[in-house]
A and B are shown apart, each in its own frame.
Chain A
Amino acid sequence: MKMSDKDLDKLFSSQLADMEIAPSASVWEKIKPEIENKAEAKQSMMTWLQIAAAVVVLATAAFMLRPQTQKVALHGEYSAATVNTSPNGLAITPQANPGLGDIQVNEGTRPEASATPKHQYNDGRTAVVMPLINKVDTTHVMIARIEPTETHDAAQQQISQPVTQEVKLINNPQLQNNQPVKTLAANNAPVQKETPVAQKKKIHSLGDLFNVVIAKVDKRPNKIIQFKDNDDDDSEFGVSGVNLGPIQIKKND
Chain B
Amino acid sequence: MFLEHKHTIEELVAECNKGNRKAHEGLYKMFAPKMLGVCMRYATDRMEAEDMLQNGFVKVFNKMGDYRGEGSFEGWVRRIMVHTSIEYYRKHHKMMQIVDIETPGIEPSVDPLAASNLGVKDLLALIQQLPPGYRMVFNLYAIEGYSHKEIGETMAISEGASKSQLSRARGILKEQILKMEGKRYENVG
Contact = CB atoms under 8 A, between A and B. Distances in A.
A166 to B, nearest CB: 58
B36 A8 contact: no
B150 interface: no
A8 B113 CA distance: 11
Given A19-B40, A21-B33, A3 B143 contact: no
A34 interface: yes
Interface of A: 1-3, 5, 7-9, 11-13, 15-24, 26-28, 30-32, 34-36, 38-39
B173 A28 contact: no
Given A2-B110, A19-B120, A28 B28 contact: yes
Given A12-B142, A16-B143, A31-B57, A21 B37 contact: yes
Provide the main secondary structure of the chain B interface. helix
B115 A24 contact: no
A20 B143 contact: no
B106 to A, nearest CB: 12
Q: Give the 3 A-B residue pairs with the shortest CB-CB distance, closest first.
A: A19-B37, A9-B142, A3-B110
Interface residues of B, number: 44
A19 B37 CA distance: 5
Most chain B CB inside 10 Å of its own CB: which residue of A7, A21, A39: A21
A42 to B, nearest CB: 9
Given A19-B37, A20-B33, A35 B58 contact: yes
B15 interface: no
B170 to A, nearest CB: 6
A12 B127 contact: yes
B90 interface: no
Contact of A3 (B24, B112, B138): B112
Interface of B: 19, 21, 24-25, 28, 32-34, 36-37, 40-41, 46, 49-50, 53-54, 57-58, 61-62, 107, 109-113, 115-116, 118-120, 123-124, 127, 138, 141-143, 167, 170, 173-174, 177
Contact of B120 (A16, A30, A32): A16
A22 B120 CA distance: 15
B19 A23 contact: no
B143 A17 contact: yes
B112 A21 contact: no
